[in-house]
Amino acid sequence: MPPSPFAAHRADLAALAAENRRRTLAPRTGIDFASNDYLALAGSDALREALAAGIEQGLPAGSGGSRLLRGNHEEHEALEAHAARHYGSEAALFFPTGFAANAALFATLPQRGDLIVHDALIHASAHDGMKLGRADRMSAPHNDAQAFGDRIAQWRAAGGAGTAWIAVESLYSMDGDRAPLADLAAVADRHDAVLIVDEAHATGVYGPAGRGLAHALAPRDNLITLHTCGKALGCEGALLCGPQIVRDFLINRGRPFIFSTAPSPLMAWLVHQALEIVANEPERAARLHGLVRHAEDRLAKLGLPASGSQILPIVIGDNARTMRIAAALQADGFDIRGIRPPTVAPGTARLRIAITLNVGTSDIDAMTESLAAAMATA
């Protein structure tokens, strides 16, 4: 028998299993402390009614082609025009996922001879986009604005003459902490750099009408923001917002945009309605912030620190113990997942507890009691 062409793949999976890092797909069960559906919009009556209204209007489920062919629909353009107004940018462009938007952005906009300085904890999709691009890239310590400036200054001193790009998240998905956006904007201004802010976990939750944490910086011509639509907005897709030249260049040079089938016009309609719902119902975010404060109080009684956001990481460290605690919580009826390397740094395996409007204070109380018991015995 010839050797299996998948022998190396089997060995890799076996190595992951030996380190308690092998992933499997798990069904959706238990009380939601795992999703990014922060405002409980994904299964809401409001979005179901909006979806029904879109279907009633005859909006197609599929686009039938790329945006540059016949796939461009008036609902795509209506959403983008609304998003630009909503987020205070000159223009916007709709992508099918946040991953696709980051891949297109970083692979296309920074040019050969440019430098991207990115936060050490930035999304994997940004890393993949940078690998596809032509610009040099350099990591900066997490949330250290001074280090970003130092990296650019060192690059300039060594002869760097292109454009510098600063890439960060406004709210980090595994730590729940915020970027020092005002300081980073000042660094961008001093160094004639472009600031790219991934608002994935802040969109809908922070800022006036859910506009995100970077909204306080707008409008400015050296700011690009990414707003994913599959988290607090309860839909799918992502909106890249920034200067008109960014939209135009991505339409002409962004291969992930040019050669992808356009997102569903029905989804574009639904995202548009979700933006309206979030803007018109600020009580959703207010209730979420109240639940976060309640959860932080409960965790404080267990001696566990707060992140200051709806993402509450409980760092355990050991991979196996993390998964044992997660399994105990799941057995008690709480959907809480363990996060292991390489998603997080080695030695920082954790529980990622997400607070959403899918739970109430009694759920949080019961969950923290179960957490305390699981951590004491695992």
Out of 76, 123, 191, 272, the active site residue is 123
Out of 76, 227, 231, 272, the active site residue is 231
**Domain annotation covers residue 350:** yes
In a shared domain, residues 92 and 214: yes
Tell me what pLDDT residue 19 has: 87
Q: Tell whether the model's pLDDT for residue 281 goes beyond 80.
A: yes
CATH of the domain at 65: 3.40.640.10
In a shared domain, residues 246 and 356: no
DSSP letter for 339, please.
Answer: E
Task: Using a pLDDT cut of 70, give the percent of the chain over it.
Answer: 100
- Render pLDDT for 224-264 as a digit per residue (tens, 0 to 9): 999 999 999 999 999 999 999 999 999 999 999 999 999 99
User: In the structure, what pLDDT confidence band is assigned to residue 1 with cuts at 50, 70 and 90?
Assistant: confident
**Domain annotation covers residue 269:** yes
Tell me what pLDDT residue 108 has: 98
In a shared domain, residues 106 and 251: yes
**Domain annotation covers residue 8:** no
Task: Using a pLDDT cut of 90, give the percent of the chain over it.
Answer: 95
In a shared domain, residues 253 and 319: no
Where a domain ends, among 257, 280, 303? 280
The mean predicted confidence, pLDDT, of the chain is: 96
Contact 105, 226 (CB under 8 A): yes
* pTM score, whole prediction: 0.94
In a shared domain, residues 257 and 126: yes
CATH of the domain at 286: 3.90.1150.10
In a shared domain, residues 76 and 195: yes
Is 198 one of the catalytic residues? yes
Tell me what pLDDT residue 69 has: 95
Out of 73, 86, 201, 272, the active site residue is 201
Checking 49-58 for CB contacts under 8 A at 24+ apart, the result is 50/269, 50/270, 50/273, 50/274, 50/277, 51/266, 51/270, 53/273, 54/266, 54/269, 54/270, 54/273, 55/266, 57/269
Tell me what pLDDT residue 27 has: 82
In a shared domain, residues 126 and 201: yes
**Domain annotation covers residue 191:** yes
Tell me what pLDDT residue 378 has: 82
Where a domain ends, among 280, 296, 321? 280
- Render pLDDT for 295-336 as a digit per residue (tens, 0 to 9): 999 999 999 999 999 999 999 999 999 999 999 999 999 999
Tell me what pLDDT residue 3 has: 83
Residue found under tokens 């809480």: 336
Is 201 one of the catalytic residues? yes
Out of 75, 80, 114, 198, the active site residue is 198
Distance CA 116, CA 111 (A): 10
Where a domain ends, among 226, 252, 280? 280
User: In the structure, what pLDDT confidence band is assigned to residue 2 with cuts at 50, 70 and 90?
Assistant: confident
Q: Which of 220, 218, 227 is nearest to 198 (CA)?
A: 227
- Render pLDDT for 350-364 as a digit per residue (tens, 0 to 9): 999 999 999 999 999
- Render pLDDT for 55-105 as a digit per residue (tens, 0 to 9): 999 999 999 999 999 999 999 999 999 999 999 999 999 999 999 999 999
Between CA 259 and CA 267, with CA 264 as vertex, the angle to 5 degrees is 135
Q: Tell whether the model's pLDDT for residue 48 goes beyond 90.
A: yes
Out of 32, 36, 75, 175, the active site residue is 36
Is 231 one of the catalytic residues? yes
Distance CA 299, CA 314 (A): 10
Is 36 one of the catalytic residues? yes
Tell me what pLDDT residue 33 has: 98
- Render pLDDT for 167-192 as a digit per residue (tens, 0 to 9): 999 999 999 999 999 999 999 999 99
User: In the structure, what pLDDT confidence band is assigned to residue 7 with cuts at 50, 70 and 90?
Assistant: very high
Task: Tell me the residue range of the domain where 299 lies.
Answer: 25-43+282-377
Out of 32, 80, 119, 169, the active site residue is 169
Is 123 one of the catalytic residues? yes
In a shared domain, residues 177 and 325: no
In a shared domain, residues 220 and 299: no
Distance CA 208, CA 359 (A): 24
Out of 63, 102, 173, 222, the active site residue is 173
In a shared domain, residues 330 and 226: no
The total of structural domains in the chain comes to 2
**Domain annotation covers residue 50:** no
In a shared domain, residues 351 and 210: no
